[in-house]
Structure 1
Amino acid sequence: MQKLDVITVGGLLDRVASEHPDNEALVYTDRELRYTYREFNEYCRQVAKGLMALGIQKGEHIAIWATNVPEWVTLQFATGKMGAVLVTVNTNYKTFELEYLLKQSDSTTLVLINGTKTSNYLDMVYELCPELKNCQPGQLTSERLPLLKNLIYIGEDTPAGMYNFKQLLEMANQITDEELDQRQASLDPHDCINMQYTSGTTGFPKGVMLTHYNIINNAHSIADCMNFTHKDRLCIPVPFFHCFGCVLGTMTCVVSGATMVPLETFNPVRVLETIEKERCTAVHGVPTMFIMELEEMDKNSYDTSSLRTGIMAGSPCPIEVMKSVVNRMGAREITITYGQTEASPAITMTRTTDPIELRVATVGRVIPNVEAKIVDPETGEDCPPGVQGEICAKGYNVMKGYYKMPEATAQAIDKDGWLHTGDLGVMDENGYFKITGRLKDMIIRGGENIYPREIEEFLYTHPLIKDVQVIGVPSLKYGEEVLAYIQLRPGARLTKEEVQAYCVNKIAKYKIPSYVLFVDSYPTTASGKIQKYKLRQQAIEELGLESLTKIETA
């Protein structure tokens, strides 16, 4: 079993830069940006000194609201050197969510871009802090956000009341190398260094406190499971604000001395072009991303022969999609990772040496130095192999807790240190896990427990179905009925009756969808996770079932 690495994020980058100084650390093909590890480490040091010159202390909270721009990954490692906690902001947030996050996280600094195609970040910030327009940079006194002082803008024209990110490099001259080294040496690997907000599908989002120790060791395990070395080059189209981007992506590269090749935003054509141009050996993505890449490969020719591995995660991975990624994209050692932000994030993972059957049908075994078990959600007793229950995890990867939410923390982590994931799964006698659903997602139809994942996997085998999401909708007779939202392959035609006929005698009658709706897309979070609760709301409106939601049950 691997030995745990007791080091800070800043110390890790120093170490890797001395071991692989001339290896490429960070490459952006859209702007011809290339840093070796020596150059990247030096640049992160400059930014860290700039942040210190602003007066930012160890443990202070810096929020970043940006797509996968180079400054994002620089800030991740610069804060890791000078000890500020990086608070990641979902790129889809609107004013209300931004205000909540900045207040709840006690952030004193916000680093931001001008926005995305669908959101103008500057307009939202000025709406929250109209005082910005008439204040000097660093001098903000905001009525709604009293702790917020510094706004740092990534881009060309610097808006009123803000610093420009480039000014950090100028301010760096006010701090000596010795002062930065002293600050870095004062950091404890068990300090919180990263705070990520859970998507908040129930209640308000919670700030997950992750330490240097949490994320560095999780990245080591992930790298080991993928056989990652300094020779690998990882295409990262998943967002940095999510653990998938900044732990399974950037941190996993850095612990290995591998090359980070991020995309500012996901685009299937750009992903395939980047893999071809940079000879990437690995690519990450959620299933919907891989589905879009495979569709693009149907239309145009791309050389993905350099691909070896990568991670498909973020939501249940359809077996047929997984096989296509192996056979058509050439990622013969593609892996699946299961976990959640509260676990830094990986809990289980398939290995590159696992036979294809296990790599497409399970989420692997526990990663080194982590324990996982299946418990009965009612009794809390351990379940034997093959019996479904809630997945619980324990080890170095479990978060420090939710920021300023002791009760929510106590609900998630029991007195013995086990993290209760809220996910349902089964474990076989060899320790391989399968995810069967969420405790909340389970459909109960006439007393029968139905797990959407099982029906989804079956419907994926239909040659005309591209993607499917199964949910429960209210029913007067049965309590709930099964509904399948289906995306068809280009040019395909299919009726509800044909879908139901395909299921007859292949899955239990009570599992056959009573409703079938055809859609072009699903509502997703910015990290690509499909929001099933929104699909349920959509279906209830579309089918006119609102009155049934008001029926009280015991």
Structure 2
Amino acid sequence: MSVNKMLKRNLQLIPRILGANGLSSFVLIRRLSASITKTVEAHKFYPAYLHYVGKDPLVYRNVGQQLEKTVAEYGSTEAIVSCHEQKRYTFRSLIEEVDRVAAGLLKLGLKQGDHVGIWAPNNMHWYLTMLGAARAGLVSVAINSALQARELDYCLKKAKVKAVVMSETFKSQNFYEIMKSICPELPDSVDGRINSVNLPHLKHVIIDTPNRLKGALSFDDLLGLSNRTEYEAITQLQRHIAPDSACNIQFTSGTTGHPKAAVISHYHFVNNGIHISNRNQFDSNTRICVQVPLFHAFGTVITIMAAMDKGSTLVLPAAGFSPADSLKAIVDEKCTVIHGTPTMYVDLIKKQRELKLPLKTAKMAVTGGAPCSPQLFLDIKNVLGLERVQTVFGMTETTAIIFQTRPGDSMDQILNTVGHLQDHVEAKVIDAEGKTVGFGESGELCVRGYLTMLGYYEDEEKTNETIGRDGWLRTGDQFILQADGYGRIVGRLKEMIIRGGENIFPKEVEDFLNSHPDICETHVVGVPCERLGEELCAFVRLQDGVTKISRDEIKEFCKGKLAHFKIPRYVIRVDNFPKTASGKIQKFKLVEVYEKEHQAQ
């Protein structure tokens, strides 16, 4: 029944009310009024739009000025500890080394706005170079340390990188040999100056190594290029670096196709870092165990910039993710906070169950980079013995964080939402036609505010596809926005499975299967089906000691709890999942595994 019809029906009662006695009329009129109010309220439309201002204003400063502010307030506090390199810096000793890097890069002939690639695992020179580039007015380009020749070639060309700072080796990766394969002129270069046919923009390769490698400068060489007067002049340079100018290029960590180069400003970095640290209640006693790669937005902003704001200490357990090294670092360095992606926590929990180390100082875990199931949240808290678990949700194109857990959030809010909208951000949810849906309804999440990227580097078409002329950025996430400011992610629009006309988001099925006592981790993909279009295939990693699980067991577990069309038709057991270096599952590779197994049957 429409609102108009319901109101008309209520109004028809008025003659009866007027014919009643005085007291009864008064009572009936009051009831009628309440009925009309209730009817109108029940049919009101509240669009899913919020602008959360917050209490702390945005600041207008660049990364170099932010570092100076931190040094002034927390100079004697440890800024970073690299356990595997046995190196430590206080904020006061750090800024001197950072400025030597900045002055060295400028001495090589680089100009403000030039791009400096950083291609390395979590080593100290990564951290120094990122901050040094910012202090020099250069743009750091974060490059995935796992990239091979073809992928590296793409990134260097796409971002027009003029200098690369990199490691020599890491695990089986030989960075120098890979660089030679795409820049054959490197060994014959003189004084570290390169003239490459394939990479015309590349002029310098700097390698963190004690060895003399032909054509390359060592990182120590870079530090020694400038004199005291030159690196002390970096402080004066800060007033000429606009906060709105580009600071960093992050390649999107998608699992298919060529990554896009998102350009992030100093202003983005500084402010997102401040509001992240506020929500996490960081202070100068906070010590963060850093498991995430520094080349990812989780590492650069959620970790480095957030820690810098409050003078918190970063602890690098190892060059790459190692659960055993992380646990040891938490104990030895008295870490209070842990940063990691969901898959990292799965492995960390598994190792802690084995080692049972006394993680007495650890109080909080922060998880992000991918959706985290409620069961994993509980395991993180209980197995690691933490007081609380925080979730962060965002994307490369929004600097880092859009939604985040708030202090004092209930367990229900932590387990079943991605947190509350971040300060100074607008959010809305739209349908396929671009119309705003109501609170509690599912649609695509759009955001607008200070944190949206400047754009994709030299890619106006892709930028315009993502950010409209009105400033709204389309995230591609199927999302539910609540009136209280909290949000729930349903899944990625591109990952949605359509089975016989039914829309299924893998996350719902994955979260449910992860609650099975024998299952450690689950990822669900859509696979071809002649009759229904797509079917569900669940890839499961089992708990230690469990060797098999059947589809019939899964079906019985789901019975009466999941709709029949959401129950996976295929179940494949795996020992490990294919991942990007930032911890995201490469679902297209799971589809390839299914196809191979299906063809073999």
Same structural fold, with TM-score higher than 0.5 when normalized by the shorter chain: yes
Of 390, 403, 409, the residue aligned with 1:335 is: 390
Aligned to 1:321: 376
Matched residue type, 1:284: H
Aligned mates of 2:127, 2:573 — CA distance in 1: 39
Q: Which runs of 5+ in 1 are unaligned?
A: 547-554
Aligned to 2:176: 122
Aligned mates of 1:394, 1:310 — CA distance in 2: 28
Aligned to 1:543: 598
Q: Secondary structure at the match of 1:140?
A: coil
Aligned to 1:32: 86
Mapping of residues 66-465 of structure 1, within 5 Å: 66-173=120-227, 176-177=230-231, 179-263=233-317, 264-376=319-431, 378-465=432-519
Tell me if structure 1 keeps the 8 A contact 2:100–2:231. no
Identity %: 36
Q: Which runs of 5+ in 2 are unaligned?
A: 1-54
Indicate whether 1:530 and 2:588 are aligned. Answer: no
Mapping of residues 471-482 of structure 1, within 5 Å: 471-482=525-536
| Highest RCO, 1 vs 2 (Cα 8 Å, sep ≥ 6) | 2
1:545 positional shift: 10
Aligned to 1:549: none
Aligned mates of 1:458, 1:178 — CA distance in 2: 57
Aligned to 1:44: 98
Q: 4+ residue stretches of structure 1 with deviation over 4 A?
A: none
Of 106, 114, 119, the residue aligned with 1:60 is: 114
Aligned mates of 1:222, 1:331 — CA distance in 2: 20
1:178 positional shift: 5.7
Quick check: which has more Rg, 1 or 2? 2
Q: CA 1:177 to 1:469, structure 2 compared with 1: closer, same or farther past 3 Å?
A: closer
Q: Secondary structure at the match of 1:354?
A: coil
Q: CA 1:174 to 1:126, structure 2 compared with 1: closer, same or farther past 3 Å?
A: farther
Q: Secondary structure at the match of 2:185?
A: helix
Q: Secondary structure at the match of 2:187?
A: helix
Aligned mates of 1:235, 1:178 — CA distance in 2: 32
Aligned mates of 1:207, 1:259 — CA distance in 2: 29
Tell me if structure 2 keeps the 8 A contact 1:2–1:369. no
1:276 positional shift: 0.7
Q: CA 1:545 to 1:372, structure 2 compared with 1: closer, same or farther past 3 Å?
A: farther
Tell me if structure 2 keeps the 8 A contact 1:53–1:174. no
Aligned to 1:6: 60
Q: CA 1:297 to 1:179, structure 2 compared with 1: closer, same or farther past 3 Å?
A: closer
Aligned mates of 2:194, 2:503 — CA distance in 1: 55
Aligned mates of 1:178, 1:526 — CA distance in 2: 37
1:428 positional shift: 2.4
Aligned mates of 1:314, 1:66 — CA distance in 2: 20
Q: Secondary structure at the match of 1:483?
A: strand
Matched residue type, 1:221: H
The two structures, once aligned, show a CA RMSD in angstroms of: 1.5
Aligned mates of 1:241, 1:22 — CA distance in 2: 27
Moved more, 256-265 or 111-120: 111-120
1:147 positional shift: 1.1
Aligned mates of 2:422, 2:600 — CA distance in 1: 44
Aligned to 2:26: none
Indicate whether 1:501 and 2:556 are aligned. Answer: yes
Q: Secondary structure at the match of 1:499?
A: helix
Per-residue deviation, residues 168-194 of structure 1 (Å, max 9, x unmatched):
221121752563233222100000010
Moved more, 110-119 or 456-465: 110-119
1:540 positional shift: 2.4
Structure 2-normalised TM-score? 0.89
Matched residue type, 2:581: A
Aligned mates of 1:342, 1:394 — CA distance in 2: 11
Q: Secondary structure at the match of 1:182?
A: helix
Matched residue type, 1:524: K
Q: CA 1:383 to 1:158, structure 2 compared with 1: closer, same or farther past 3 Å?
A: farther
Aligned mates of 1:385, 1:214 — CA distance in 2: 28
